[in-house]
Amino acid sequence: MRSLAAACLALCALLAPVRALALDLTGTWYLLIHYTDDTAHDPKQPRWDERLWTFAPKGAQLEWNERTIIVFSDERGRFENLGGNRASRVVGAWEPSPGQLAQIDGGLEYNTRGEKKKLLRGSASQGWTSGGGSGASAAGANVLSYVETWSIDDPSGLPVFTRDDSLGGGSHESLDGRTQYTAKSVDENGVIHGSFERDGTRHGTFRMYPSGQAGITKGSGKTQQQRMQEAFLSQYGKDLFPDADLTKLREDFKDVVAASGADAAGAAGGADVAAAQRRIDLGREVRKVVEREAKLRNYDLDEPTLQKISDAVTRALAAGKTPEEIRKTLTSDGAGTP
């Protein structure tokens, strides 16, 4: 009987679920949130948001840092143009591409505007909180104050991240809100999956990806004109100049393409005036297409940008490049450069 009991105990031990290793939140995490908004015009429309969280020990406390303006080197699929140099987050459940996932893993950049951080008291076993202060209710009768309390329950298991905010004062009714991220599982890659809820009106899911060390976004040294041009081309470059447009231009200006071995602007020391004029005419027709496509997309390109893109396509056409080669030129890092 003893041997049978021992065998049963051993079998039970084998069948029992393996206890997961304690979760260590220290480091940087990228949050991708998918949700719907009951107060939106279409409450069933999926939307997305993102956060960059960093947790670091500060003596006996834990510093929780949040950044909301996150910069990917490849922003494709994330934002849509609003005209000029303005952009808005696309509506839908955006998913990062393999390249963007690699950027998350390697470490992202962020803008310090909108950055928040708090010191939390507690422990990894008992949880962390920034609460314990006097709060908004302690303000004077005629003074409104705003207080945020950040807390983490079960930080070593399946954590629940809670952000409580309160706006009120002695003689004012308090306005309270709550945002909560409740972890449900951790996959084999260390990604935390869970549910998202905000103020009872936004509902959805979130994923927390372990991320490399984040850094403040660096200035590119590019002018506003260059950034506008690159934003336009990165989003619409592949759609510019459909094959029909390029085929017509090549057909209408066969003489220019045939003479691509010489730069028309300086051919025969300026003797071939007709060839030079045809090159100018080609440039004008190309520009009409650029202006048309920009207008269709409500993108306000300035004069230098319009001319630079037009010149690049004109040179490519005169050099006899194929439609695919021209579109590749437009979307390359050096698009529009001589």
pLDDT at 307 over 90: no
* Two structure tokens written together for 11: 């079998």
For the chain, what is the largest distance between any 2 Cα atoms, rounded to a whole number of angstroms? 111
Each residue's pLDDT tens digit, 246-303 = 888 888 888 877 665 444 444 444 446 777 888 888 888 888 888 887 777 666 666 7
143-163 tens-digit pLDDT:
667 789 999 999 999 999 999
CB 287 within 8 A of CB 215: no
Distances (CA, A) of 261 to 212, 264, 265, 282, 317: 50, 9, 12, 16, 12
What's the pLDDT at 76? 82
- DSSP E strand stretches across 12-58: 27-37, 47-58
Kind of pairing, strands 215-216 and 47-58? unpaired
pTM for this one?
0.60
- The model's confidence at residue 234, banded by pLDDT at 50, 70 and 90, is low
Instruction: Tell me: pLDDT of 133 over 60.
Output: no
